[in-house]
Amino acid sequence: MIDTTRSFKGACFARSLSLNTDQALDEILSAFEGEELAGVLFFASSQCDFELFASSLHRRLGVPSIGCTTSGEVSGCGGHSEHSVVALGLRSSGFELETLMIPDVGTHSPDSIADTMENAPLMLSDYAFALMLVDGLSMAEERVCAGLARALQETPIIGGSAGDDLRFEQTWVACNGEVARDAAVLMLVKTGLPVSIFHSHHFTATDTRLVITGAIPEERRVTEINGEPAAVGYARAVGLDVRELSPLVFAEHPVVLSIGGEYYVRSIQQANPDGSLTFFCAIDEGLVLRIAQGGDLPSRFRSVIDEQREKVGELGLMIGFDCILRRLELLNHDQLDQVGEILSGAPFIGFSTYGEQINGLHVNQTMTGVAIGRAA
């Protein structure tokens, strides 16, 4: 289905709720029929045949495209959904695009990623912003962010890590019909429309400190907290028994790290049988974290939309990369419909991620994104 009330001169939106990949593809394509598109951005349930969808979409539209698998989709025409596909068509009247895939990111250093960008047939200047999507199980987001920030310099970068509905088995990205794991894809965007990059979370730091006294950084795994097995130390800090730890607990009780005077969330992915904790982002021995306390998440969604309206004027488009743990928190508090009502007033498209990126940083339990106004 196309949400024509959110179509404007720069972009148009589409969503399919079909679990049949061919039908979902037909519905998305019919929504874009007759459009003069510069490119397409899409987010697809891990339940669909992602390779078939991505290759067929690119072949039949014939324009640049990037996309990824998700842990849920988000749109202004349905709020949070599962087992769906959402797509954004960027019209050539409002945008110019270039796309690139960076393979084998698990073996790259930031320098080699920057070299890949500089050696690509791209003009690395005058972009309004860059969108990145990355394999959410690659454990390479920090290196990708650092390399892209080095190559793109002043160009803002926002993005998300692909998901697979919390199975943590395989996540996929696509660029121009080619799909890959252990890869990142990039869409460089030029536009004369007003643009605002944002990131938002709803947590404040408490006085409860956690010192990482043992870690295996290359595995994003913490073995000790405050001198105890990591799961025990964390559970004690949040007032629970280690047997009660779950994704929902991690969503409700994240930890934060101070960087440059601002707190960024460092979310826990899972507790392991050996008592260690695996994180969604880089972690190292000696770091001092704090347990965070959450605020009103639906109100924060509303505030972000209002803040972006103040920055760009009448909203034409918002693209958001929203952590899966935020979805779990909304689900636990029966607030998904409330956020859906808030988003129904905005031209929003995005997905639930395994991590979020903003410029040179990889973060968690956050929403990063870009807002674009209707008129220059």
Express each pLDDT in 151-190 by its tens digit: 998 899 999 999 999 999 999 999 999 999 999 999 999 9
The pLDDT score that the predictor gives to residue 77 is 80
Out of 294, 317, 346, pick the residue that ends a domain: 294
Give me 70's structure tokens.
């998700």
Asked if pLDDT for residue 64 goes beyond 60, the answer is: yes
Same domain (yes/no): 180, 304: yes
Same domain (yes/no): 9, 91: yes
The model's confidence at residue 376, banded by pLDDT at 50, 70 and 90, is low
Pick from 95-104, 222-231, 253-262, 321-330: least confident: 253-262
Same domain (yes/no): 290, 303: no
As a whole number of angstroms, the distance between CA 187 and CA 132 comes to 6
As a whole number of angstroms, the distance between CA 97 and CA 99 comes to 7
As a whole number of angstroms, the distance between CA 341 and CA 327 comes to 15
Same domain (yes/no): 84, 209: no
**CATH code: domain of residue 241:** 2.40.30
Mind listing the pLDDT tens digit for each residue in 334-373?
Answer: 999 999 999 987 899 999 999 999 998 999 999 999 999 9
Residue 240 near residue 250 (C-beta atoms within 8 A): no
Same domain (yes/no): 261, 367: no
Same domain (yes/no): 192, 105: yes
Same domain (yes/no): 264, 306: no
Out of 267, 294, 321, pick the residue that ends a domain: 294
Q: Is the dihedral of CA 40, 25, 350, 49 positive or negative?
A: negative
Asked if pLDDT for residue 5 goes beyond 70, the answer is: no
Mind listing the pLDDT tens digit for each residue in 221-263?
Answer: 999 999 999 999 999 999 999 999 998 899 889 999 888 888 8
Same domain (yes/no): 264, 308: no
Out of 261, 294, 327, pick the residue that ends a domain: 294
Same domain (yes/no): 194, 237: no
Same domain (yes/no): 129, 13: yes
The pLDDT score that the predictor gives to residue 6 is 52
CA angle (259 as vertex; 253, 264 as ends), nearest 5: 30
Pairing of strands 96-102, 129-134: unpaired
The model's confidence at residue 8, banded by pLDDT at 50, 70 and 90, is low
Indicate the number of domains in the chain: 2
Please give the share of the chain, as a percent, with pLDDT higher than 90.
78
- pTM score: 0.90
Q: Indicate the average pLDDT of the chain.
A: 92
Residues 161/165/167/169 CA torsion (nearest 10 deg): -50
Same domain (yes/no): 175, 215: no
Give the range of the structural domain holding residue 193, as residue numbers without chain letter.
4-199+298-373
Same domain (yes/no): 163, 221: no
The pLDDT score that the predictor gives to residue 259 is 83
